[in-house]
């Protein structure tokens, strides 16, 4: 099967309900994520951040994502996450990403609109969907620092942003942060609901790791349609390898091979938990 756009994939997810978007950084992540979606029989979004691409290059990651989308027995959307670089987004579109995120949220509102509109114009002309961010989501996308200030999204401005940019999905800032939380996250369900009534596009919850099940479910009931998870997969993967090597107490070529399967299974188990969490 070919990779679907975000709206095409979400058409297959009943309301209220969300598709999980899993960040991958390796082939083994991808194998674990797709296996989880197949076992749970759900459409899945696989995504990679600009920073995660930097290690190997976008061509490599696109090839892994395209192979996964072709082989998967469930619908797949291949999404470029948190991209700030216009040239990289264009490259991603050429390489087969079916959906892209332009994250110009660090810019002033007018500049965010301009940068987002520029991506939407090109992406839509070739049938690729676009997600954008309004307000600032805390934490850091590619590690577990959980630092940085938050700026919550204003519902009126969100409505205006959608009209001015034509994006297909909006990532608002509603109290979550990327990475592991340092305290109890105060997710603003009221704000999600207020944005959802003004915005007729899917809302995306970033910073999905380390959130209690009930918080995730309430966020989805309030209007979230795409639920992003990265850090928890990294931790599950790393823990599984530590446990395995601690128990064998040695390293060898066969242990290295076994470790790959261990890692894939750990990612799969964690991804299945997140998928089940989204059943409201």
Residues of this chain that bind ligand 13P (CB under 6 A): 23, 81-82, 141, 178-179, 206-209, 228-232
Active-site annotation holds for 147: no
DSSP string covering 68-122:
HHHH-SS-EEEEEEEE--HHHHHHHHHHT-SEEEE--TTS-HHHHHHHHHHHHHH
Task: Please work out, in degrees rounded to the nearest 5, the angle formed at the alpha carbon of residue 55 by the alpha carbons of 93 and 144.
Answer: 100
Place of tokens 């944005």: 195
Min dist. Cβ of residue 251 to ligand 13P (A): 29
CA gap 216, 175 in Å, rounded: 12
Min dist. Cβ of residue 79 to ligand 13P (A): 9
Taking the least distance from each CB to ligand 13P, the nearer of 141 and 154 is 141
CA gap 10, 201 in Å, rounded: 11
Taking the least distance from each CB to ligand 13P, the nearer of 71 and 276 is 276
Taking the least distance from each CB to ligand 13P, the nearer of 140 and 255 is 140
Taking the least distance from each CB to ligand 13P, the nearer of 178 and 201 is 178
Min dist. Cβ of residue 232 to ligand 13P (A): 6
- The one catalytic residue in 81, 154, 168, 232 is 81
Instruction: Give, as one character, the DSSP assignment of residue 233.
Output: H
| Paired sense of beta strands 76-83 and 44-49, if any | parallel
Min dist. Cβ of residue 252 to ligand 13P (A): 33
Going by C-alpha positions, the residue among 164, 99, 89, 96 that lies closest to residue 134 is 164
So which residues are the catalytic ones? 81
């Amino acid at each position: 099967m070919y990779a679907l756009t975000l709206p095409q994939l979400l058409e297959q997810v009943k309301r209220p309900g969300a598709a999980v978007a899993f960040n991958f950084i390796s082939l083994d992540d991808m194998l674990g994520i797709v296996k989880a979606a197949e076992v749970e029989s759900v459409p899945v979004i696989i995504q990679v951040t600009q920073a995660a691409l930097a290690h190997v290059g976008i061509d490599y990651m696109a090839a892994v994502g395209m192979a996964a989308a072709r082989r998967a027995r469930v619908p797949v959307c291949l999404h470029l996450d948190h991209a700030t670089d216009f040239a990289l987004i264009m490259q991603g579109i050429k390489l087969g990403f079916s959906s892209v995120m332009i994250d110009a949220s660090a810019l002033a509102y007018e500049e965010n609109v301009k940068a987002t509109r520029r991506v939407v114009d090109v992406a839509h002309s070739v049938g690729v969907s676009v997600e954008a961010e309004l307000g600032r989501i805390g934490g850091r996308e590619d590690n577990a620092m959980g630092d940085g200030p938050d700026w919550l999204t204003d519902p009126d401005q969100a409505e205006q942003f959608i009209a001015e940019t034509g994006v297909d999905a909006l990532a608002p800032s509603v109290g979550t942060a990327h990475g592991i939380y340092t305290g109890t996250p105060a997710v603003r369900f009221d704000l999600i609901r207020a944005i959802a009534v003004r915005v007729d596009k899917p809302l995306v919850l970033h910073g999905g790791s380390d959130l209690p099940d009930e918080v995730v479910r309430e966020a989805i009931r309030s209007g979230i349609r795409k639920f992003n998870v990265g850090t928890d997969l990294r931790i599950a993967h790393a823990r599984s390898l530590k446990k395995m090597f601690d128990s064998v107490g040695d390293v060898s070529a066969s242990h290295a091979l076994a470790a790959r399967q261990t890692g894939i299974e750990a990612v799969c188990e964690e991804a299945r938990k997140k998928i089940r969490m989204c059943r409201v």
